[in-house]
Structure 1
Amino acid sequence: MGTNANSFWDVLLWSFWFFIWIAALMVWFRCLMDLFGDHSLNGWAKAGWVILMIFVPWLGALIYLIARGRGMAERQMAEIARRQAAQQDYIKQVAGEGAAPAAQIADAKALLDSGAINQTEFDSLKAKALA
């Protein structure tokens, strides 16, 4: 029975260290992704950080988090805002929002002529374009 108890604690300890190792790898890769995504750093600064993070990976990642951690969050939020704005622009472009009323009416007329919509739907689209 003593060996089973030892085996259980060995597995638990191994699982703990495996979890720590995976978490450290995630932090290390996140630091590298932030480093290469930062357009404010010049090439020499990036090269210095990369050398530090390759030769002393866990200490390098810890130093990177201490030195540039606040900027990481700001850069991530700016990237999210940029992507959301690009998505909104794309949605507006695809939906035809902002198009001239004449163009919207012409598009609706083409749909009416092709039979894709009926006269009632055309009238509705025309009224919406003119509103």
Structure 2
Amino acid sequence: MDDYPLLNVFWTMMWLFLWVLWFFLLFKVITDIFRSHDLGGWGKAGWLVFTIVLPYLGVLVYLIVRGRSMGRRDRDQAKENEAAFRAYVRDAAGSEGGTNRGASPVEQLGKLADLRNNGAISEEEYQQAKQKVLG
């Protein structure tokens, strides 16, 4: 191989890529062990010891035995994250129909004052809505 220095570079890059891939897979399995709700404490400890003491065999066996549930947990986590993001956006933007569910009391009072000043609501309606906002 000393005659082909470019081949040495490619060979080194391949081993580096496989090394990074291996660590990514190892950390993915370890985080899945801790994230799994269907394993008890002893089960998590057993899998963790198995993957640390015999990492290649431990990861391979874990993927064979629990790979399907690992994928399901990934999908469920992605759905939960998307639902939480959508709820956050909905609360930050305010809900449909013009209600101020996500607005602070100061913002709500400002909008009520604008409606009163524009004549859209009466002073009595303003006072009632103000009491409702202030609790």
| RMSD, aligned α-carbons | 3.2
In the alignment, is the contact (CA less than 8 A) between 2:94 and 2:100 conserved in 1? no
Change beyond 3 A, Cα 1:56–1:96: same
Q: Does 1:109 align with 2:107?
A: no
CA distance in 1, matches of 2:98, 2:10: 66
Aligned residue runs from structure 1 range 1-131, under 5 A: 3-5=2-4, 7-97=5-95, 108-110=111-113, 112=114, 119=118
CA distance in 2, matches of 1:27, 1:82: 23
Q: Structure 2: any 5+ residue segments left out of the alignment?
A: 122-135
Q: Structure 1: any 5+ residue segments left out of the alignment?
A: 124-131
Change beyond 3 A, Cα 1:12–1:100: closer
The residue aligned with 1:127 is none
Q: Secondary structure at the match of 2:74?
A: helix
CA distance in 1, matches of 2:52, 2:13: 26
Sequence identity of aligned pairs in percent?
31
Shift of 1:14: 2.0
Shift of 1:100: 8.7
TM-score normalised according to structure 2 size: 0.69
TM-score normalised according to structure 1 size: 0.71
CA distance in 1, matches of 2:38, 2:2: 57
Change beyond 3 A, Cα 1:96–1:8: closer
